[in-house]
């Protein structure tokens, strides 16, 4: 296991993050206490120190399990523990969800109790609700940092323009900015390459990718009838014709290299951008160990090219327009071929 800096924070985190949405059986496809414990300690033994959960996961059971495991490990100070707020837990109520300060404080207090800790290393805003002003969110999060209840803030599942505006406001007002961004990113979901990933690179934010194997679709198990392949519904976009073609190419490359299909899919994510860290979850230790094997392999340029080509997307306007030869010719006065460009151009 190697380590990366999480955005501009200076935090040293493992190159793979342990996802714990499968810790608990409330949602019908997770792991029980003992199996979750095996995964947790197996991840630590492999060198992992970056752990992801949320108040929403398995109705709060994920955090409760982690609270027990972290206490037993005696390694709280060395672990980077991330959780999230915004989504409702097992209780339902109008103000028991959302981005506003009331739910923010209630959620953090609940997470601290379930996690059996005095502080949260990274608190994500889980999803943007389009009702709370950015300034209100940032001020509330900044107050929690000043109180020592959280150390850093990050954001998930939010449009790029909202994140960039929020971080600019934070910089101008001397508040803490978001150091990382979580998004769905895999060979089946590359639309984040349009705006979210370039935005994160421009702000030097960590990129944390969830669903790198697309709910198991990229392992190839849905290419044939399999009783174990039951999490995704037949009408899922992850199982449409294009998705199946991509999964088949992953399986083909796995067969050629001797890697597992999951390792190929996860490694593709890891080799796309320097800042990206995939979140890996599992239902049992064997699955987790297989996924962690992605840290010790490397995809060759030929493999990357094949995967990039079969999974490529249209970037849409204005990206494709601005990359057109005609536009680039008149932007640079017909002299683009004679110009050396060394910066990213934002």
**Catalytic annotation, residues:** 57
Structural element, H or E, at residue 12:
strand 12-14
Helix axes 134-146, 101-115, angle to 10 degrees: 40
Taking the C-alpha atoms of 223, 254, 189 and 107 in order, what is their torsion angle to the nearest 10 degrees?
Answer: 100
Task: Give the separation between CA 49 and CA 263, rounded to whole angstroms.
Answer: 20
Q: Give strand pairing partners of 166.
A: none
What does the DSSP assignment read for 28-48?
SS-B-HHHHHHHHHHHHHTT-
Structural element, H or E, at residue 206:
strand 206-210
Work out the end-to-end distance of the chain between its first and last CA atoms, rounded to an integer number of angstroms. Answer: 33
Residue from 57, 120, 110 nearest 87 by CA = 57
Buried b / exposed e along 328-344 (16+ C-beta atoms within 10 A)? eeeeeeeeeeeeeeeee
């Amino acid at each position: 296991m190697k380590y990366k800096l999480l955005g501009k924070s200076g935090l040293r985190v493992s190159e793979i993050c342990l996802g714990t949405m499968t810790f608990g059986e409330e949602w019908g496809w997770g792991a029980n206490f003992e199996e979750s414990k095996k995964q947790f300690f197996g991840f630590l033994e492999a060198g992992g120190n970056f752990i992801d959960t949320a108040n929403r996961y398995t109705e709060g059971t994920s955090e409760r399990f982690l609270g027990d495991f972290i206490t037993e490990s005696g390694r709280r100070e060395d672990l980077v523990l991330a959780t999230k707020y915004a989504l409702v837990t097992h209780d339902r109520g109008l103000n028991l969800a959302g981005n506003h300060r009331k739910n923010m404080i209630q959620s953090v207090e609940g997470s601290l109790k379930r996690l059996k800790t005095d502080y949260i290393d990274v608190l994500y805003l889980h999803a943007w609700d389009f009702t709370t002003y950015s300034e209100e969110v940032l001020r509330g999060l900044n107050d929690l940092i000043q109180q020592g209840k959280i150390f850093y803030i990050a954001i998930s599942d939010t449009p790029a323009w909202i994140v960039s505006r929020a971080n600019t406001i934070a910089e101008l007002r001397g508040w803490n900015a978001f150091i990382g961004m979580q998004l769905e990113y895999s060979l089946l979901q590359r639309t984040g390459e349009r705006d979210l990933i370039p935005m994160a690179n421009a702000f030097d934010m960590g990129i944390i990718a969830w669903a790198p194997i697309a709910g198991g679709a990229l392992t190839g198990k849905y290419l044939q009838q399999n009783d174990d392949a039951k999490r995704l519904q037949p009408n899922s976009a992850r199982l449409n014709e294009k998705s199946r073609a991509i999964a088949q190419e992953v399986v083909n490359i796995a067969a050629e290299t001797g890697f597992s299909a999951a390792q190929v899919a996860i490694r593709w994510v890891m080799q796309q951008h320097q800042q990206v860290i995939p979140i890996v979850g599992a239902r049992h230790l064997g699955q987790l160990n297989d996924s962690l094997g992605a840290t010790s392999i490397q995809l060759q340029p030929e493999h990357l090219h094949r995967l990039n080509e079969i999974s490529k997307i249209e970037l849409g306007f204005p990206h494709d327009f601005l990359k057109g030869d005609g536009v680039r010719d008149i932007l640079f006065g017909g002299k683009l071929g004679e110009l050396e460009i060394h910066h990213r151009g934002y």
